[in-house]
Amino acid sequence: MILQILQDTTIVQVSDTIRTISINPPETFLESLAQPVTIIALTAIVVSILGLIISVCYNRKSLKITIEHNKKSVEPKIDHLHMVNAHEYKEYCELKNNGYGPAMIKEIKFYYQGNIYEDIVTLYKKHFNGNISKIEKEKIYQYKDYPLASNSSILLYEFIYAPEYFKNNVDGITSFLEDILIEINYETVYNELKNYRKNLRYKINKIFPK
């Protein structure tokens, strides 16, 4: 609205200046510029143009602030939690979205000793086969282009071990996690690509029977 008013005002003032000069044509161009009515009109035009420029800059800044605010209001916050549950002899990892908006999970990778793995089982089999051989049940989930809603979680994997092995090796089961990295690439609702990369043992809870 302000921008339109300034534009209309500038056009009117230019028209008035041209009309005034045409009605009372001066002998020379310099004389026309020296006329009070011309000076006033030109000054008004300059002021209007400056006001127009300021208005455009203000509107752009205001729009940028609004967009940034809207992005933050729907920003996802990805996190993971690794659990060792001695009640059920199992180890599992969850992916959580603690943010305000959904996250589109694009891919999940695991890193160990410079190698990249698409799933944790392949990594375990290559480097920790002793653990894998004692797993009685396993659940592995692949997520690609998966929408993770705000304040929700998904299970990445779950291993249920042989009870005796688990009791005697619970510390060994999780000790190697220190060197494993989990990386998650995801998009926001604004199609911005985000990256989450943490040590797999970044957050680990151990649940033991009392």
Q: Which one, of 116, 115, 163, lies nearest residue 137 by Cα?
A: 163
Report CA-CA distances (Å) from 16 to 23, 25, 29, 35, 40.
Answer: 11, 14, 17, 14, 11
What tens-digit pLDDT sequence spans the chain (210 residues)?
544 544 455 555 555 555 555 555 555 656 665 667 667 777 778 888 888 888 788 778 777 777 776 777 789 999 998 888 878 888 889 999 999 999 999 999 999 988 999 888 888 888 876 666 788 888 888 888 999 999 999 999 998 988 888 888 877 777 777 788 999 999 999 899 999 999 887 555 555 554
Q: Which one, of 175, 166, 158, 169, lies nearest residue 89 by Cα?
A: 166
Identify the pLDDT of residue 202. 52
Residues 110 and 193 in one domain: yes
Q: 73, 93, 115: which is the final residue of a domain?
A: 73
> How far apart are the C-alpha atoms of 117 and 108, rounded to whole Å?
9
Identify the pLDDT of residue 19. 58
Residues 62 and 82 in one domain: no
Q: 47, 73, 99: which is the final residue of a domain?
A: 73
Q: Which residues pair with 166 in a beta bridge?
A: none
> How far apart are the C-alpha atoms of 178 and 130, rounded to whole Å?
17
Identify the pLDDT of residue 43. 79
Residues 106 and 200 in one domain: yes
Residues 28 and 88 in one domain: no
Residues 149 and 184 in one domain: yes
Identify the pLDDT of residue 186. 96
Residues 171 and 116 in one domain: yes
> How far apart are the C-alpha atoms of 85 and 157, rounded to whole Å?
14
Q: How many domains does the chain have?
A: 2
Residues 28 and 104 in one domain: no
Q: 73, 100, 125: which is the final residue of a domain?
A: 73
Residues 86 and 184 in one domain: yes
| Residue-number span of the structural domain to which 188 is assigned | 78-207
Contacts of 97-101 with CB under 8 Å at 24 or more apart are: 97/148, 97/149, 97/150, 97/151, 97/152, 97/153, 98/151, 99/75, 99/150, 100/72, 100/73, 100/74, 100/75, 100/76, 100/150, 101/73, 101/74, 101/75, 101/76, 101/150, 101/188, 101/189
Burial of 180 (0-12, 13-18, 19+ CB in 10 A): buried
Residues 86 and 47 in one domain: no
Residues 61 and 100 in one domain: no
Residues 96 and 197 in one domain: yes
Residues 56 and 82 in one domain: no
Per the CB < 8 A criterion, the answer to whether 201 and 110 are in contact is no
